[in-house]
Structures are given as structure tokens and as C-alpha cells.
């Protein structure tokens, strides 16, 4: 009895659903990130996708709130998480008495934002976050450890050279404060961010229109012109002679962090002071990070984060300073995949496909069972098709080896192991095949 097919199977726009051969690559990236986070002792957390709207949106507002997947079921007002930070804040506030501080947690999971769908933008996407939360205080050494996590992670991901850009929000905040420009800092930033497009003279003119004094404009131009290596940048910041406690704090912290990053084994080539980053993010209050792949600068920062004064002010009176980073994994995978630049260790799940040259596949089953017992991912081709179809199956799934069992192999207890990349084929014992496959 055939049912009538009435519904067209389709996936929502903005929701990534990979073909398994791509999912294999995605999962390898995800697992490498997880392993690297665990290398640094971060503990796993797996908060629900659904939360009470009251809890999840305690702090939200504006653009964020519009994007939320929010609905009621029965009398309960529910929302799907839009990041992993708010659930962390909830968790830490809720379980404060039952956690060891500094609390180091990672979470890798899907979050939901109903953005306008466009190429490379997703409504369901993975974030891979780490955060270190202190109870009342948190040593600046943690700010220096974070880049070593980024370094280890991106080395593992094998995406070519990368540079971790480091700044401290207090430097810019204190700088504007010292010039009495704190209140119009957003406007000033908007103007100076145009300098490459419109040139210094036009920037000076527009700043004057905002009411900035000539003396202050000179300092702003001097500030944004700061270049050189890290110690040159620090010297130049010092030579600005800004008298402001916030600026002084920021400069001190930046120097400390940069000094200690080296202790954590990050090569100097892989990080740099960048006074231009993270200007827009109000959330961060101290150290900030952005990470760029040098071969793919066009895709922007692939790992960003920073230090914040207080994780969970909306849930608790406890002061919970923290520092953390996030990798937008879905977007990163999508972009690298478009560029054909996923560097995976393996392209398939199965290491070997066992095929029979006769109708009887019982010998195949025994060999496959022996392989599996040795930890080798193994598949048996069970359909009674032509040999060509069997090899095509292996080829399509990118399985690197085929173990062929014909009458002779069955008689001698051997297998003919063929490397599909090189075409090399050897008739060996099952034990020898195991050794070859394990290499």
C-alpha cells in the first residue's frame, strides 16, 4: 500500500544542513576545538536550547530581541538561546555555591537568531565558547592565557598562519576621557574610522565640526597613527603623555598581558597589539581579542572575545568578572568550505570498505569484524552488485581502502587490500591488513 507523497521535503532557509561527506569535515573542526579547549582544563557545559524568556531576555533589547525565536507553550513564555553567554551567566548565578572558582567552562552548541537570510549568514549556528569566571576577582594572567588557547586551537585547525590582535578597551576609553570627549566618543570613532577613505584633512575638518579642539585633534591623529612592533606601539602610547587613570590602567594591563603571553608559549609572530580592534563592543571592559587568518583576511575575525567586569549582574549581586572567547564555527566552516580550504585529517568515516567477489559475503563479515575489533572503522558492502559499483561506492564516500575477498582470499584466509589513491594492491593476511590500515 503506497502512501501518497503530499509534502515537499525541504529545509528552512538560513539553516545549515550538510551532506555527510561535508559533515565529516565539520565534525573534525568541532572536535579539534573541543580537544584544544579541554587541553586547558575547561569544563564542559551543555545548557538547554530553550529557556524562560524572562530569564534569557533579562538583559537583551533592541536588535537582539527582534531576532529571538520566542513563543508560548501553555502558559510558559519560552525563547531559544541566541548565544552561550547568557545561559552561562544564568548557570553561574544559579549554581554559585556549588562551583569552584575560577570557573573555567567551554560550551559548543547551536544558537538561534532570526536574522535576514543572506549568503553566509545563518539562523541556526554553532558557537564554540570558553570563559573563565572569577569570584570577585580574576588575575590578569587569565587574560594572557586566553591567547595560548587561541594559538593551540588554530594550530590544530591547520588553517595556515594567523595573528591574534590584542587591545585594551580602557586605553581608548581613558584617552577620550582625558580629552573630555567621552560623551561624543561614538561620533569621534565614526569619523576617525573613515580616515583611509577620506584622508587626514577631511577627518580633521569633521572633528572640528564636532567641536573637538585643535590640540585634541592633534592627539587623536597621533593616537591613530601609532604603528610599529608591540614595544614601539607601547612607547608611542607612553609618549602621548595622557594623564588619566583609566588610560594608565589600560596601558598597564596591555603591557602585562603582552609580556605574559610569551610565557604561555605563543610565538611573537602569532600575536600583536592592535589599537583599532573591538571599538564597537560595549560588553568588554578590558583586554579584547580578535583573530585573523592571514591567508583569508577577507573573512574577518574568526575568534573574538575579551574581559568583562561582571558576567551576571541581572541575576545576582555577586561580582563575577570574566574573560572569554567565541568561535563562530558554522560561519567559519561555511566560508572555508566556499574557499575549498578545509584542511581535514580524513575525508571519510570508514577507513576501509570490505567487498566480496562472490555472492557469499560471510568471509567479508568475519574480516570486517576483525578490523572493527582492532578499532578500524569498517564498512561491508552487502549489495550483490557489479565490482565497479562497489568501488564507486567507496570512491563517492572517499573511503581510502577497499579490502577485496575473492575465492582465493577466502581459501587462504587473506585479503587483497587496495589503496584507492595510489592504486597499489597487496594480498596480505588479516593481521597484516590491520597493521597496514592502522598506519
Which residues in 49-88 contact a copy of itself (CB under 8 A)?
49-52, 54-55, 58, 69, 71-74, 76, 78
Q: Quick one: 287 or 301, whose CB is closer to a copy of itself?
A: 287
Binds a copy of itself (CB under 8 A): choice among 190, 208, 372, 438: 372
18 is an interface residue for a copy of itself by CB under 8 A: yes
Q: Is residue 283 a contact point for a copy of itself (CB under 8 A)?
A: no
What's the grid cell of residue 170? 580602557
Interior CA angle at 123 toward 120 and 127, to 5°?
85
Closer to a copy of itself by CB, 107 or 301: give it.
107
Kindly state whether residue 102 participates in binding a copy of itself, applying the rule CB under 8 A: yes
Give the C-alpha separation, 195 to 270, whole Å.
27
Q: Judged by CB, which is closer to a copy of itself: 365, or 436?
A: 365
Residues in binding contact with a copy of itself, number by CB under 8 A: 100
The residue range among 219-227, 300-308, 349-357, 422-430 that interacts with a copy of itself, by the rule CB under 8 A, is 349-357
Residue 145 touches a copy of itself, criterion: CB under 8 A: yes
User: Please, which residue, 87 or 233, has the CB nearer to a copy of itself?
Assistant: 87
Distance CA 275, CA 16 (A): 35
Span from 159-167, 210-218, 236-244, 379-387 in contact with a copy of itself (CB under 8 A): 379-387
When binding is defined by CB under 8 A, the residue of 64, 83, 114, 344 that contacts a copy of itself is 114
Segment contacting a copy of itself by CB under 8 A, of 281-289, 321-329, 380-388, 415-423: 380-388
Of the candidate residues 264, 344, 406, 428, the single one contacting a copy of itself (CB under 8 A): 264
Return the sign of the alpha-carbon dihedral for residues 409, 410, 412, 414: positive
Q: Identify which range of 144-152, 158-166, 288-296, 333-341 contacts a copy of itself by CB under 8 A.
A: 144-152
Is 6 a binding residue for a copy of itself by CB under 8 A? The answer is yes
Q: Binding residue for a copy of itself (CB under 8 A) from 41, 62, 280, 423? A: 41
Q: Give residues 301-320 in contact with a copy of itself (rule: CB under 8 A).
A: 310, 312-317
Closer by beta carbon to a copy of itself, 128 or else 220: 128
* Contact between 358 and a copy of itself per CB under 8 A: no
Interface pick for a copy of itself out of 82, 112, 247, 401 (rule CB under 8 A)? 112
Nearer to a copy of itself, 39 or 194 (CB): 39
Amino acid at each position: 500500500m503506497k502512501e501518497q507523497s503530499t509534502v515537499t521535503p525541504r529545509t528552512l532557509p538560513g539553516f545549515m544542513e550538510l551532506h555527510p561527506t561535508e559533515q565529516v569535515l565539520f565534525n573534525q573542526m568541532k572536535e579539534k576545538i573541543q580537544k584544544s579547549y579541554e587541553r586547558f582544563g575547561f569544563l564542559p557545559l551543555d545548557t538547554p536550547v530553550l529557556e524562560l524568556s524572562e530569564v534569557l531576555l533579562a538583559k537583551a533589547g533592541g536588535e537582539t530581541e527582534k531576532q529571538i525565536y520566542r513563543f508560548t507553550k501553555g502558559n510558559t513564555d519560552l525563547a531559544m538561546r541566541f548565544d552561550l553567554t547568557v545561559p552561562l551567566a544564568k548557570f553561574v548565578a544559579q549554581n554559585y555555591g556549588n562551583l569552584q572558582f575560577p570557573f573555567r567552562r567551554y560550551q559548543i552548541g547551536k544558537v538561534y537568531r532570526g536574522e535576514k537570510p543572506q549568503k553566509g549568514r545563518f539562523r541556526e549556528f554553532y558557537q564554540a565558547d570558553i570563559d573563565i569566571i572569577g569570584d570577585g576577582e580574576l588575575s590578569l594572567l587569565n587574560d594572557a592565557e586566553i591567547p595560548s588557547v587561541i594559538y593551540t586551537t588554530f594550530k590544530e585547525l591547520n588553517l595556515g598562519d594567523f595573528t591574534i590582535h590584542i587591545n585594551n578597551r580602557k586605553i581608548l576609553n581613558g584617552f577620550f576621557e582625558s580629552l573630555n570627549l567621552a560623551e561624543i566618543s561614538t561620533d569621534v570613532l565614526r569619523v576617525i574610522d573613515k580616515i583611509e577613505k577620506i584622508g587626514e584633512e577631511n577627518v580633521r575638518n569633521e572633528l572640528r565640526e564636532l567641536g573637538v579642539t585643535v590640540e585634541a585633534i592633534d592627539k587623536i591623529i597621533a593616537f591613530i597613527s601609532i604603528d610599529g612592533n608591540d614595544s614601539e606601539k607601547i612607547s608611542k602610547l607612553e609618549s602621548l603623555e595622557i594623564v588619566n587613570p583609566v588610560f594608565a590602567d589600560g596601558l598597564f594591563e596591555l603591557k602585562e598581558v603582552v609580556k605574559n603571553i610569551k610565557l604561555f608559549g605563543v610565538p611573537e609572530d602569532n600575536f600583536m597589539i592592535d589599537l583599532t580592534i573591538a571599538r564597537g563592543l560595549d560588553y568588554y571592559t578590558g583586554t579584547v581579542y580578535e583573530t585573523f587568518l592571514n591567508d583569508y583576511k577577507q573573512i574577518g575575525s574568526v575568534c573574538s572575545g575579551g574581559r568583562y567586569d561582571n558576567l551576571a549582574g541581572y541575576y545576582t549581586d555577586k561580582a563575577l568578572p570574566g574573560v572569554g572567547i567565541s568561535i563562530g564555527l558554522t560561519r567559519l566552516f561555511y566560508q572555508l568550505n566556499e574557499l575549498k580550504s578545509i584542511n581535514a585529517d580524513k575525508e571519510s568515516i570508514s577507513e576501509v570498505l570490505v567487498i566480496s567477489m562472490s555472492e557469499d559475503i560471510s568471509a567479508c563479515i568475519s574480516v570486517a569484524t576483525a578490523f572493527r575489533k582492532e578499532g578500524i572503522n569498517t564498512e561491508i558492502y552487502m549489495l550483490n552488485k557489479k565490482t565497479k559499483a562497489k568501488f564507486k561506492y567507496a570512491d563517492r564516500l572517499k573511503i581510502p581502502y577497499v579490502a577485496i575477498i575473492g575465492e582465493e582470499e577466502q581459501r587462504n584466509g587473506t585479503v587483497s587490500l587496495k589503496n584507492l589513491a595510489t592504486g597499489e594492491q597487496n594480498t596480505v593476511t588479516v593481521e597484516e591488513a590491520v597493521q597496514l590500515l592502522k598506519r
